[in-house]
Amino acid sequence: MDAVIVNLWWIIPITLLLLAIIQLIYWAYLNNTVPSETKENVSMVTSPQMPTYPDNLVDRPMGDTSGINREPAPETTALGDVIPKMIMTNHPKGRKEIKLPDVPSYGMGRFFNKEYNILIALDERSTSRRHAVLSKDASTNQYFLTDTNSSYGTAIKRGDVFQPMTPGQEERIYHNDMVQFGRSLTVQFTLPGPTRQSVTGGR
């Protein structure tokens, strides 16, 4: 019996080698049969990306807090129209300014994903993949924000307090509004039109 076992010792390494070859063949098959478009989409979802528009994002040095909690000077076009944008005042990777896309409605989420109409990347751990939707009424030039049942919620600053938004309920966003996405990411909006204080008394 012992002699038989000694003579069959080579079966174990041969079996392991065959398993390794099968795994390599399977990996090569998957790598060559998944469409390139799908690979790009998977990469887009799993890797953090800020919007790719050249004029959309302005990075400021870490620690630059100029203008935070004060009404920012609106950036305007040659015709004097206010350029809508949002300023990430306490982003983990530094202060960021993002010009709002000129489309009627789009998502805001952890990663930029054009296929799913997520055109603003919040890129912060506590924000959801599709955290909120920002829409614009072109006839009145008013902006509205809706929390899409995100994991850690969205809150609008009213007076000195951030008040949580009701998921699925659209709320108007005014010039200079402060909004908190997730647990800690705060954003200040620069928009055409009045401030919340002037219209609602801060409510």
Q: Is the pLDDT of residue 36 over 50?
A: no
Q: Is the pLDDT of residue 74 over 60?
A: no
pLDDT tens digits, one per residue of 84-93:
999 998 877 7
Q: How confident is the model at residue 142 (pLDDT cuts 50, 70, 90)?
A: very high
Match 């055109």 to its residue by tokens: 119
CA distance 176 to 195: 6
Distances (CA, A) of 18 to 39, 86, 90: 29, 57, 54
Q: How confident is the model at residue 164 (pLDDT cuts 50, 70, 90)?
A: very high
pLDDT tens digits, one per residue of 38-71:
444 444 444 444 443 333 444 444 344 444 444 4
pLDDT of residue 40: 41
pLDDT of residue 174: 95
